[in-house]
Structure 1
Amino acid sequence: SIRDLLRSKEPPGETPVCKLYRFQTEDHRWLLVREQMSETPLSFSLPKQLLSALIREHTDRVAEVKALGDLSPHWDGLRHDAVTHSLQLIGCYQQTQAELHCLSTASCFKASSSKSDRHLQFIPTNLHSQRMEVTGPGSVWYEVITFGAPADHHQAFKHGGLKRLSVCVGVVSRRSFAFSSAPFSRDESCRAKRLLAAAAQLQPLVFGLAEQLLSVSMEVDPNRLQDVLDDLREQVSADPNTHTANRKADESDSLPPSLQTSLFIQALNDDLVKVALQDMNSRAGSGSSHLHGNGTWVNVGKSLDCITAMVERLQERQKFLSSLPAASPSSFSSSSSSSWQEQLLPLVVTLRDCVREAVTTARAAMTFVVLQGAVAATVARGPTQIVQRRHAVFSQGLSAIVCGFMLKLFGGLEDPEFLQQLLSVGILAQFEGLLSTYGEELGMLEDMEVGVADLSSLAFAITEAQSERPDDLQPTLTGAWGDFVVEVPLPSESFRSLPEELKAGRLIRVEPVLFNIGINQHQSLELKSPNFFIHRSLLDLLSSLDRSIEAKKRKNVEVLWLAASVCRKVNGVRLTSCKSAKDRTAMSVTLEQCMILREQHTLSQQQFSSALDNMRRDGCRTENVQKNIGTRKFAFSSVQLLTFPKLYRPPDGSYG
């Protein structure tokens, strides 16, 4: 059941591979150690959700820029580029989605031999949760997520990875597109779309009331004329202090036309319009008409004031004529109706011209905002191959970090300090890389660096599951690129025990960091026994980490040990990667487990090397090798291992 699942702190997945050991401590007690390795359905479920979200996002973008109507040749060219870019991604992602859909619904694993397969581009390689339970006395769990370094092996690394490619794209984008110094946010783009919709309603509303004013003027009815004038003033110059100004922008779609118009009028003097107009007029060779917003609504207000003043004079004149005793009502009515319309007509024409100019200016400014956002989110990010590469790398890291977060959450549901930490500072995700800076692995590292950085835009939210069925307990991805939220459902009983802020949907931010030290035959180093960090404070560990990073020592793996210790100290998510998470990762994970046993559970010094060899010869990581390449031997050669640090070498007979 799910309650048993939460008690064991294990997220949904396959039946784990387990190995049991018994080691002696310094004080001659016995430690019972359970090593456990599990696949996770998140390997496929989250990439599928990401693909769907990206398809929706680009489909919406195509629709929104197509809805802008006729544009100048320059802007229409930008729109065409953005639409073409989005359609290419949509087509590619739909094809990938269809291919993934054809796979078994039970698929949870991508082998290292499949890391270059195109249809598995978004799937993390060899993703597993590696966990260790230590009993004696009490019971405690330790975990690390292992997966192949998030990288796009399908496109390979002939021209490097994302970091190098992104630099080239950034230079080209700055040369090709004259964007504003401060790109508009997604909220501003959404507001611009709402204002465009309001602008489309404003002009016919005002023009209709203006025509009605002229028509009513023929009736020589002061009261009726005043009613129409009041309606016109409400549409054109709504008081920004009224309740409509206090409505949220995202409620505007449900407002009646007059109130939507009021929101539009108030926004015309907003900084969004002003900045957009300034950017438009500063663009060189853009083909824009150098529109200026200054004075547009001032002119509308003045023309409306003139109409108001004229109506007041006409009303006063009517009262005066009506008070004359010898006057003929019919002659007064006939001359007044003709006179009223003749005197109001030029003022109404002026009002229409001013409104037309203001609407044109506002539409141009908001069109610029929407188009700029579309271009910045498409062609400005580079060719579709680079954008797709970035999405694929992010997808691989996404599955891994969500798996790690769920483990931490399940394990900390009864820890008030951990839950408060989630509220106050979020969750640390510490990525450990073992990639070299030679050949293809440099490209992988460049992919991984950008992918880890992109995960900083991710957030988690905890929700209440509709039921305890497995499908209702799977995490779901919402939002758009740069603003994704992963919703993690909990059973009602567990959800009710959470702090109120978490139950209310407070977002939990992710703080990802990457430490990479290459470990292979190209980057050898001499290494003695590790400096254990028993009972050291967090501040002490951080100081040591700073010193270790700044040290001139080449390829200092102590950086990795210190970073891992800091991560565990703050209840962070630990993730370890090499090229395929198969060989070097196995050496790192087993070393970390034995270091934990030594640091936290006083494993005897004499048994440290024995424990390390046992885990590498008979432990879960040999099963991992078997799953990937069909043999239980690590893919190292004797010559290669001569250059490895001693603590990263497998025992004789376990490689070849």
Structure 2
Amino acid sequence: LSAEFESGEPDLYLEAFSKSDCKSWIVALREANSEGLQKRIRHLQQLIMEIQGSEPADSLGREITQAAGAVMIPKLPNVEFSLACRELAAPARERKPNAVVQIAVTNTQEQSLTTYTSTEIVEGTRDPLFLTGVTFPPEYPICEETRVKLTVYDVKDKSQETSCCLFYKTHPKIIFCLLQRSFLGSTTFSVGELLKSKEQQLTLSLRTSDGTNTVGTVVVSRFRMGEIEDGEVDQIATDAQGQKCTLVCESASHGTTNDKAGSPLMNAVFKNPVCKVYRFQTVDNKWMLVREQMAECTLSFNIPKQLITLYIQEDMRRIQELKDLGDLSPHWENLRKEVISHYGQMISSYQETLTEMSKLTGSSFKPSCSKADKYLEFIPINLHTQRMQVSCPRKTDAAYDVITVGAPAAHFQGFKNGGLQRLLSRFEAEKKNFSTTYQCIYYSPENTAKAKEVLTSISLLQPLISSRADQLLQAAQQHCTSSLKEALKTLSDKTEQFVHALKDELVKNALLALYTARPGYVNKRHSAVCNNVDGSESPPKQDRPPPLKRQDSIPHHSEYDEEEVWVNVAKSLNCIIAMVDRLQEHENNNQDATAEPSLADVITSHTTGDWQEQLYPLVVTLKDCVTEVVDRARKSMTFVLLQEAACSIPQGLLLKQRRDVVFSQALTALACGFVMRLYAGLKDKGFLQQLHLVGLIAQFESLLSTYSEEIGMLEDMEVGISDLQRVTFKITEAKSEDPSDLQPVVSGRRDYYTVEVPLPHEIFEALPNEIKEGKPLQVYPVLFNIGINQQQTLAERFGDISLQERINQKNFEILDSYYKLLSEKVPLQYLPCFQTQTDLKELLETLQQNILTKKRKNVEILWLAGTICRRLNGIRFTSCKSAKDRTSMSVTLEQCALLRDEHELNKDYFIRALDCMRSRHTQGDVSQWDDPEAGSVADNKPTSRNFYPVALLLVSSHLLVVWLILSLALLLAKYHRHTQGDVSQWDDPEAGSVADNKPTSRHFYPVALLLVSSHLLVVWLILSLVFLLAKYQ
């Protein structure tokens, strides 16, 4: 047994004589750690204070227990502050400093200094006002004694900025920058000094490293978002861009109680938040406060694990159903064994994946470097939630959410042959050939889907019919006429649904197909094959061989009729209805003292307790008939799926596995977005009404290009997002407020999934009755894609973008249909209000026009789709290949656009706000957005190797010129030599004619060579251009 210490001390190795000793050591060590002891001490202190009814505290406000002598450190509020410097020393006479402040935290216990974050760079001023503030979330380990060190640097060359990541226990994703910089000065202060300051502000002197000289001052001003009441303001006079203005930091509370960061409900699903806070100036010279929070989601691993378990259970049920088919002919028996074998291989693969996933600990997301990991292929890439909260003077606070996730795609399986959309289309086209090879009946995708629908329906309806029949008997036992009538009505409804689900020609034809596949079946008419799906028989032919060579379609039921089986269910129900009518009639006759005895009196001339005895045999008969019908229908539909699986081995099962992978990633992202949107709207009555009457729109914004491998990713994503239409949500009441009881639960099968979202009792009781009763909540997923990188440039010039155009057009139709449905059922005044009051119908028309317009990299489509989604109370998702570079550029640009359009961000601060949010220009491959106000984007400076084609192209052009000159000189020399050769005199001076100096064919060799070389040059130029563009990818 080895014990590792986070402090860096040498590992400790312990030897145990048995497993039980080893386990006891592990338990003892876990109980002995400082965190566990502190928790126990705090719990005991709390019990003591509850008994004594007192809360003694020391001078620092810390609660003290005299008996134990321990100190309880109170939980601090959110510590957030802004920074500004004044009168910084100039590094040189002719240059003002480019200031940046690095913030570090001193660990009071270990006396170690940890770099925490840094501000943006403010160039060319001695009085910089930093827009990026500092925030310590509640879970960050600080106390009043914690000291914060501020170090001011002068950045010499901002273009040489490089990124560096710090990884430590509480915030593994904090990123700061290492710059070519020079030290100006530093200062320190304690958190307690800032909290106890009356003005909530500290003015500190910056000193050099030896502490002798002062090089300026730094002003630390605390943000009090959510703590100011009745319009209290905190005014700080600062010098910003040469003019005096007033910093107004006023705020109301953020969101709802359950939606606040750090609430138990949010902490159950969202983990490890990373926060940033900014202050930006509005058009009226006031200041708005903006908080960004990015968090991981526990569903990244939770939902895929549940789905894989459901996949395994479904496939195991399918194997059992295949085994329950009974005896089959040798041909079908061999096919059944082969299908069962492939299902077994898939189950083993899924079980292995589930085992490996169960071993994973640590972060709650999959990084992009693991996207091709076999055991992580079901997990979405870089799934995070991004929330921007805005507080403006004298305005209601607002919050904007977006889910960032890598495009749902099967990276491990690769994209050599395309993605799901292309593979499925190709597979359906080749399926008939497979049916010939395996001598199967070809079923269309519609028939296969119908078979799965029938299996789902009978699985759901059979237990419902049984439970309704039991309720009928219970009502009869209670001798309650109204309850008896109500129970009979529900039983009739469910039974009619059951019969209707089985009244399909596919079920009857499948029963005949199964009948003909039995070992003892003999085809007397030699016409077991029907040539069309409708079931018309082919005329018998004398030369047709008796063995079954091929079945192209569904056979017709002529010898084998199951009509009697379905009729028995209806007859049994009619008997029950007749008996209930007689019982009710008898009850009415008993109440009428003057009524004559009737036939009903004779039938029911027993005690009132005999109602149940009279209904019981009829109910048993109904249950038996339903059971028999279910057994036959299940076998027939299973036989349909057996033939479908046999025709698709092995490619079909591989496609199913790929589809499972993509769907798992898509569903995980959707569940994360739904939970976040639900938590944000729990107190919005309009939103809740929209949720249960219509459902929510889920808009996926994709930035993938239609070039190279990303075409396959987009094809995978298209199918994955489309499959989300089979998902519904339900709100349930949680058993407790324990985080494990607040996790969403997935149920169902591949054709239909339900995600149950538990809520605590108090919150659940405040919901509308329709939601509390378990009404399925619909989600309408839509996908819009616009490629924005250099690969898309190649696709638009040399490739094909029809996939992108088709996706956008198809999903616009879904979005437009949702808007029409919403307009019919929900008053539009329930939708959220925005500063820009553009009509939704007008926005949809503009979106349609942009989709139909042929324009390169038309990002207007994405902006319009995102705006419409927010207006419709929808869920926003942004994706690219790995949810990093392009995604972050899109999200930050959208946030700044929202601040400009909805919160009156000063246009002079737009670019500065954009740079602050991006912190460090994103490394990678992002092209310019077609928005003049978008500001700067990533510095995509190519390396020296990217200029090799340019240099080669320049050299080749010079060589061409030399070649042309030499070729021309050679040609002229040939002509000159010929004219100065054997013919040296004129034939007739007066005639003026000369000898015929016609050049021979060899004289044209240079000309031909010149023409060939010119064509080769054209080819070389094209190849060089393509090579150059590829280098920039």
Same fold (TM over 0.5): yes
SS of aligned partner of 1:142: strand
Partner of 1:392: 661
1:31 alignment partner AA? M
1:142 alignment partner AA? Y
CA distance in structure 2 between the partners assigned to 1:189 and 1:488 by the alignment: 26
SS of aligned partner of 1:372: helix
1:448 alignment partner AA? M
Contact 2:885-2:924 at 8 Å conserved across structures? yes
**Shift of the alpha carbon at 1:386?**
1.9
Distance 1:75 1:250, change over 3 A: farther
Contact 1:435-1:441 at 8 Å conserved across structures? yes
1:421-440 alignment, distance < 5 Å: 421-440=690-709
1:24-423 alignment, distance < 5 Å: 24-104=281-361, 106-136=362-392, 137-175=395-433, 176=435, 177-179=441-443, 182-183=447-448, 184-189=450-455, 246=492, 248=494, 273-277=507-511, 282=529, 285=548, 292-294=559-561, 297=564, 367-376=635-644, 380=648, 382-423=651-692
Contact 2:299-2:668 at 8 Å conserved across structures? yes
Contact 2:509-2:556 at 8 Å conserved across structures? no
CA distance in structure 1 between the partners assigned to 2:881 and 2:855 by the alignment: 24
**Shift of the alpha carbon at 1:588?**
0.3
Partner of 2:839: 537
Partner of 1:582: 884
**Residues 367-392 of structure 1 deviation map (CA, whole Å, 9 limit, x = unaligned):** 33222135547864943332211111
**Shift of the alpha carbon at 1:604?**
1.7
1:650 aligns with 2:928: no
1:451 aligns with 2:706: no
More strand by share: 2
Contact 1:273-1:362 at 8 Å conserved across structures? no
**Shift of the alpha carbon at 1:645?**
7.3
SS of aligned partner of 1:15: strand
Partner of 2:92: none
**Shift of the alpha carbon at 1:617?**
2.0
CA distance in structure 1 between the partners assigned to 2:496 and 2:387 by the alignment: 45
More helix by share: 1
1:506 aligns with 2:775: yes
1:189 alignment partner AA? L
**Shift of the alpha carbon at 1:174?**
4.0
TM-score scaled by length of structure 1 = 0.71
Root-mean-square deviation over aligned CA pairs: 3.9
CA distance in structure 2 between the partners assigned to 1:595 and 1:267 by the alignment: 51
SS of aligned partner of 2:277: strand
2:455 alignment partner AA? S
SS of aligned partner of 2:659: helix
**Shift of the alpha carbon at 1:84?**
2.5
1:609 aligns with 2:911: yes
CA distance in structure 2 between the partners assigned to 1:20 and 1:488 by the alignment: 31
Q: Percent identity?
A: 46
CA distance in structure 2 between the partners assigned to 1:655 and 1:469 by the alignment: 52
1:147 alignment partner AA? V
Contact 1:274-1:293 at 8 Å conserved across structures? no
**Residues 250-309 of structure 1 deviation map (CA, whole Å, 9 limit, x = unaligned):** 999xxxxxxxxxx9xx999886653535777555646889653459859x99xxxxxxxx
**Residues 610-639 of structure 1 deviation map (CA, whole Å, 9 limit, x = unaligned):** 211111125xxx8xxxxxxxxxx5224xxx
**Shift of the alpha carbon at 1:470?**
0.2
**Residues 378-437 of structure 1 deviation map (CA, whole Å, 9 limit, x = unaligned):** 864943332211111111111111111111100111111111111122111101110111
1:484 to 738, 743, 753: 753
TM-score scaled by length of structure 2 = 0.46
1:276 alignment partner AA? A
**Residues 134-190 of structure 1 deviation map (CA, whole Å, 9 limit, x = unaligned):** 011332110110011111111111111111111111122344242266343435236
**Shift of the alpha carbon at 1:484?**
0.6
SS of aligned partner of 2:792: coil
CA distance in structure 2 between the partners assigned to 1:98 and 1:544 by the alignment: 50
**Shift of the alpha carbon at 1:552?**
1.8
**Shift of the alpha carbon at 1:642?**
7.3
When structure 1 is superposed on structure 2, of 538-547 and 486-495 the one drifting more is 538-547
Distance 1:445 1:391, change over 3 A: same
Distance 1:79 1:612, change over 3 A: same
1:634 alignment partner AA? Q
**Residues 354-377 of structure 1 deviation map (CA, whole Å, 9 limit, x = unaligned):** xxxxx9999877633222135547
Contact 1:189-1:373 at 8 Å conserved across structures? no
Contact 1:163-1:450 at 8 Å conserved across structures? yes
- Where does the alignment leave 5 or more consecutive residues of structure 1 unmatched? 197-241, 253-262, 302-358, 527-531, 623-632
Contact 1:587-1:648 at 8 Å conserved across structures? no
CA distance in structure 1 between the partners assigned to 2:695 and 2:889 by the alignment: 30
CA distance in structure 1 between the partners assigned to 2:562 and 2:668 by the alignment: 53
Contact 2:295-2:384 at 8 Å conserved across structures? yes
Contact 2:278-2:291 at 8 Å conserved across structures? yes
Distance 1:71 1:291, change over 3 A: farther
**Shift of the alpha carbon at 1:442?**
0.9
Contact 1:462-1:502 at 8 Å conserved across structures? yes
Aligned length: 519
Distance 1:273 1:390, change over 3 A: closer
Partner of 2:743: 474
CA distance in structure 2 between the partners assigned to 1:616 and 1:74 by the alignment: 64
2:923 to 608, 626, 634: 634
Distance 1:297 1:387, change over 3 A: closer
Distance 1:37 1:15, change over 3 A: same
Partner of 1:258: none
**Residues 51-100 of structure 1 deviation map (CA, whole Å, 9 limit, x = unaligned):** 00000000011011101110123433443343223212111100100110
1:182 alignment partner AA? N
**Shift of the alpha carbon at 1:492?**
0.6
**Residues 427-451 of structure 1 deviation map (CA, whole Å, 9 limit, x = unaligned):** 1110111011111111111111111
Contact 1:152-1:444 at 8 Å conserved across structures? yes
Distance 1:93 1:273, change over 3 A: closer
Distance 1:195 1:389, change over 3 A: closer
1:473 alignment partner AA? L
Contact 1:587-1:616 at 8 Å conserved across structures? yes
Contact 2:403-2:878 at 8 Å conserved across structures? yes
CA distance in structure 2 between the partners assigned to 1:376 and 1:411 by the alignment: 45
Distance 1:558 1:267, change over 3 A: closer
2:379 alignment partner AA? I
**Shift of the alpha carbon at 1:606?**
1.7
Contact 2:701-2:785 at 8 Å conserved across structures? yes
SS of aligned partner of 2:678: helix
1:48 alignment partner AA? K
CA distance in structure 2 between the partners assigned to 1:493 and 1:35 by the alignment: 29
CA distance in structure 2 between the partners assigned to 1:425 and 1:433 by the alignment: 25
CA distance in structure 1 between the partners assigned to 2:456 and 2:299 by the alignment: 32
CA distance in structure 2 between the partners assigned to 1:72 and 1:193 by the alignment: 28
- Where does the alignment leave 5 or more consecutive residues of structure 2 unmatched? 1-137, 139-255, 436-440, 463-487, 515-527, 532-547, 569-626, 797-833, 944-1033
SS of aligned partner of 1:428: strand
Distance 1:447 1:116, change over 3 A: same
Distance 1:74 1:192, change over 3 A: farther
